[in-house]
Chains A and B, each alone.
Chain A
Amino acid sequence: MSVTRTFEAYAPPSSLSDNERPQQYIGSPVQRTEDDALLQGLGQYVDDLKLEGVLHAAVLRSPHAHATIDAIDTSAARLMPGVVKIYLYDDLPESAKKRLPVLVPNPAIKQVMTQEVLASREVLCVGDPVAFVVATQRCLAEDACDAIVVEYQVLPAVADCLHALQASSPTIHSDIASNMAANVKMGFGDIGDAFAKAAHRVRDTFWINRGSAHPMETRGYAARFDPATGDLCVWSSGQTPHLEKKNLIDVLAWHPEKLRVIINDVGGGFGPKVMFYPEEALVAHAAHDLGQPVKWIEDRREHFYTATQERDQWWDMELALTAEGKILGLKLIMTHDNGAYLPWGIIMPYIGVTTTPGPYVIPCIDVDLRVVYTNKNATSPVRGAGRPQAVFAMERIMDKVAHTLGMDRARIREINFVQTEQMPYNNGFIYRDGKPMVYDTGDYPQCQALALELADYENFPTRQAAARQAGRYVGIGFANFVEGTGLGPFEGATVRIQQDGRVTVLTAACPQGQGHKTIFAQICADQLGVPMSMIDVITADTSTISMGIGTFASRITATAGNSVYLAGKSVRDKVLALGAFLLQATPEDLTLRDGVCFVKSNPALSKTFAELARVSQGMPGFSFPPGVTNGLEDTQYFSPSQSTYCNGTAVAEIELDTDTGQIKIIRYCMSHDSGNLINPLLVDGQIQGSIAHGIGNATLEWMRYDEQAQPISTNFAEYLLPTSTDVPHAQLVHLSSPTYLNPLGVKGAGEGGTIPAAAAIVSAIENALTGTGLFLKEAPLTPPRLFEILHESGFFKAVHAPRA
């Protein structure tokens, strides 16, 4: 394993411009090919499409968290200026009258509830779509929504997941017998024995509240039907073009070869754009029905109501330990507030519980996972996908163990780490990919040690003592995580040399800012010996590649990246075989440079890629010579045998203003291991960005509902995202433990910054309050909430009391 210790004088890598050609593109900090257009306002986000004659849609939504619909009167709205058509449930084709499918089904789900395209009878959360209005302008469609009269019978709503499980609770839907969607009991090892042998038992309960993903571009869809060909084309601001296509085919009962989904530029995703939503079906149906293009763009308030959310969970954790502090076993009961629908099955809470062991050896674990419906917006993975909660619960209980046993927080972790000689290490669980959770590579002890060294953890007590002397509260906290990335089953890529000699890479991977086009060009360029400027990358268009999954779960470099690599190598072999025949040389005596195939021993003999591509297209009636096959192209669907596990450690040093409950992050350090890096510039960008998301989760972002499940934080004044003054410059150190699970040796890197952030920051806040006995058990700790906790704990009385 090689460790890049960049932290003595950390500086981001100097980026390489378009004209600079490194020895090897893979591993070089090349500037992005995406940027020139985006910097000049020439991106093509879904709302930027110029569709001739496009109509605009708005959605009338339920204002109630739970109600039945008695009547809908659209008579006045239909006469409003510009209104083209108003769709209610009864106006939908039969295929669209079923509930939407569970995208990732699981036999453990006992009661399935998914959304309807438009509500037929009962609405289950605020924002449920009731009517779809198409008009010549968006503002006119919204005016018409206001003129629709809906008579509701309001029913009792369920807002709290713990209350939802009590017998006295109403149910979220009148056809459902209980609010428990799934109850998964699993585990391994002899938990009874572990607790019987334990010298110490440490238990507590943790709560992580709900937040939203909030990409800066909201959701949006546009569709156009061509009556001449029967083709239906749908544009989306999504993450999963083939998944969207699959669902559209079912909901619209459409011919699969006559439906195309294109996802151009996307203004951030972070998870919720993976889902298939009613509005996409409505836009596509209306475009066909009306014979005119139709577009719907979500507004920010709708995003608060309807784009899926995450993190609402209660964790009851109990550790059994030896006298020295070695973990013997873990019992956990996790209650997950899933909201009203299960679009993504139980994947996210499942990822959560299986993430708990993290980098530690835990010989036995007993899990009681309770996935619970409430009348709130549905949840599905948001950057981190259940792991931030798991890491919060595990790292908080580890801190409590350290406090209980009087040990340093670093030491209690050190004695429990999985050691490098134990790799590959089976942590005992079956992961969400259906495979045993076998950690492939990584050096967890060194990862923590490097992060603590970078943060100067050793000397922190001196800093803290000096601050306390000056009446300031500073604290340090840290957290470790292990994250399954690079999930299968596959993500494919085609590499093709065109007849003009340029190279095209086609893939269903669907970037939302990650820089896929750059890294695929880097990988391909190295295989074919061409500059990146000779490569065009086309992503997320279902017409260019027959199968695809999508971009989420930190999976693309490990899947599609390897497909580009393998397809590129295969095309290289094809070029060499054809070149050898035409140049009457052996493939070993050939070399590829800048789109030309040369004979090494006689460089005057050469063929350009353009010439070779034309020959490979064939001449009518003439067979190819032996060893030569048609086309300079290849398609690969790299299918990893299991997930590859990245890991990291985050260290936060903060100052707490006890008068306001506000914290300032003085220093934030992170060590991160995602195997080989294709582009360190982009990896650093992913980590810094995902840390910002984690800082939001730790200190600001709180999607609130009242007791009737009414959302009460529905704009950016009531729900705060981190701004430039909330996010410090994170100091990074990269470890590199390449995986053996894919040819490039890469792991995911997009979520690692988010996962440990809340755990590290809350630990730091608690550390700042050392001496008060406060143990912090929730996130986020917004300034008002932290102030409230201090007040309730008697902190202010103690501080102002005369010293003994």
Chain B
Amino acid sequence: MQEDIQIHLTVNGKPHDCSVSTRKSLADFLRQDLKLTGTHVGCEHGVCGACTVLVNHQTARACLMLAVQADQCEVTTVEGLANADQTLSVLQQAFKESHALQCGFCTPGMLTTLTELLAENLNPTEDEVREAITGNLCRCTGYQPIIQAGLLAAQRLRALGEQAPAQASTLTGGSTR
């Protein structure tokens, strides 16, 4: 039942060569093997979105993906979203200012999901932000502060983009961008 396979992947810009069980989910691999416990497991059936990570810059449910499927992929977790100097990214900062997190358990999935949105659309409407997080459950905030944080981050990133376009693009995607 447990067969191990060698995989190579990049996580938050750092390459890893690992032997991993074929039955292990990407979420368990990140949490247990790489000790990146910021990716949270909330339902293990792909509904709550807490485990959302970026795989090749696109959101994926780390509980529904096997670690072996991430072979040769670039993975970004919440630990890879801060600026290079470890200060909060524009989006993380907007979450803090908007009180967009309470218990913080769904937050990593919210951040990765909105990171994807802002990488694709720097000028989202409120409805677009709301729509983007429909696959992420939050039991604490009632969502509105998260939507406000998404809009605030977009506004700041647009302003940064007008000042220095290249710099702004690095701020939307963390260390893998």
* Contact A724 to B130, CB < 8 A, known contacts A15-B98, A35-B96: yes
Measured in the bound complex, the distance between the Cα atoms of B28 and A48 in whole Å is 11
Chain A residues with a Cβ closer than 8 Å to the other chain, count: 60
Q: Is B104 in contact with A43, judged by CB distance below 8 angstroms?
A: yes
Distance, CA A474 to CA B111, complexed state (A): 36
Which residues in window 672-727 of A have CB below 8 A to B? 681-682, 684-685, 688-693, 715-717, 721, 723-725, 727
- Is the pair B102, A31 in contact by a Cβ cutoff of 8 Å? no
Please state if B105 and A692 are interface contacts (CB–CB under 8 Å). Answer: no
Is B23's beta carbon under 8 Å from chain A? yes
**Binary CB contact string for chain A from 238 to 274 against chain B (1 if under 8 A, 0 otherwise):** 0000000000000000000000000001111010000
When A692-B143, A729-B144 are in contact, do A513 and B98 touch as well, CB less than 8 Å?
Answer: no
Smallest beta-carbon distance B114→chain A, Å:
11
A214 x B40 contact (CB < 8 A): no
Q: B99, B134, B138: which has the most chain A beta carbons within 10 Å?
A: B99
Interface residue A803 (Cβ < 8 Å from any Cβ of B):
no
CB pair B79–A214 under 8 Å, yes or no, is no
Q: Which parts of A291-315 form the interface with B (CB within 8 Å)?
A: 299-300
For residues 39 through 87 of chain B, which have their beta carbon under 8 Å from a beta carbon of chain A? 39-45, 47-48, 50, 77-79, 81-82, 86
- Is residue A216 contacting chain B, with contact meaning CB distance below 8 A? yes
What sequence of 0s and 1s flags, for each residue 33-72 of chain A, a beta carbon within 8 Å of any chain B beta carbon? Answer: 0111011111101011010000000000000000000000
Per the bound structure, the CA–CA distance linking A299 and B140 in Å amounts to: 20
In the complex, whether A660 has a CB less than 8 A from a CB of chain B is no
Residue B107 at the chain A interface, CB threshold 8 Å: yes
Is B102's CB under 8 angstroms from A689's CB?
yes
Encode contact with B along A215-226: 1 for CB under 8 Å, 0 otherwise.
111100000000
Other-chain contact of A300, B44, B79, B97 (Cβ < 8 Å):
B44
Residues on the B chain within 8 Å of A729, using CB: 144, 147
- Check A39 against B142 for contact (C-beta < 8 Å): no
B119 within 8 A of A: no
Across-interface contacts of B108 in A (CB, < 8 A): 41
Known: A40-B78, A40-B92, A730-B142. A216 touches B102 (CB 8 A): no
Judged by a CB distance under 8 angstroms, whether B153 is at the interface is no
Residues of A within 8 A of B138 (CB): 216, 724
B137 touches A723 (CB 8 A): yes
| A217/B103 contact (C-beta < 8 A), A41-B38, A727-B144 known | yes
Complex alpha-carbon distance, A40 and B89, angstroms? 9
| A231 contacts the other chain (CB 8 A) | no
Q: Once the chains bind, are A12 and B102 in contact (CB under 8 Å)?
A: no
- Interchain CA distance A36-B140 in the complex, whole Å: 18
Residue of A35, A43, A717 touching B47 (CB-CB under 8 A): A717
Whole-angstrom distance between the alpha carbons of A17 and B47 in the complex? 34
Given contacts A39-B101, A40-B38, A217-B103, contact A727 B77 (CB under 8 A): no
| In the assembled complex, A734 has its CB within 8 A of some CB on chain B | no
Q: Looking at the complex, which one of B38, B40, B102 makes contact with A515 (CB distance below 8 Å)?
A: B102
A688 near B145: Cβ-Cβ < 8 Å? yes
Task: Knowing A216-B139, A716-B47, A724-B143, say if A41 contacts B102 (CB, 8 Å).
Answer: no
| A43 touching B38, Cβ below 8 Å | yes
Contacts of B38 in A (CB 8 A): 40-43
For A689, the chain B residues whose CB sits under 8 A away are 102, 139-142
B169 at interface by CB-CB < 8 Å: no
Residue of A nearest to B89 (CB): A39
Q: B77 contacts which chain A residues (CB < 8 A)? A: 41
In the complex, the chain B residue whose C-beta lies closest to that of A16 is: B97
Q: Say yes or no: A45-B40 contact (C-beta < 8 A), given A40-B92, A689-B102, A725-B134.
A: yes
A40 touches B146 (CB 8 A): no
Cβ-defined contact, A38 with B107, below 8 A? yes
- Residues of the B chain whose Cβ atoms lie less than 8 Å from the Cβ of A782: none
User: Which B residues lie within 8 Å of A681 (CB)?
Assistant: 99
Neighbouring B residues of A724 by C-beta, 8 Å: 130-131, 133-134, 136, 138, 143, 146-147
Q: Which chain B residues have a beta carbon within 8 Å of chain A's beta carbons?
A: 1-2, 23, 31, 35-45, 47-48, 50, 77-79, 81-82, 86, 88, 92, 95-99, 101-108, 111, 130-131, 133-148
What are the 5 tightest A-B residue pairs by CB atom distance, in nearest-first order? A41-B38, A267-B105, A513-B103, A38-B104, A513-B102
Contact sample, A vs B, 19 pairs, CB 8 Å cutoff: A12-B145, A36-B96, A38-B104, A39-B92, A45-B105, A139-B23, A213-B139, A216-B103, A216-B106, A268-B139, A270-B139, A300-B43, A513-B102, A513-B140, A688-B141, A692-B142, A716-B48, A724-B130, A727-B144
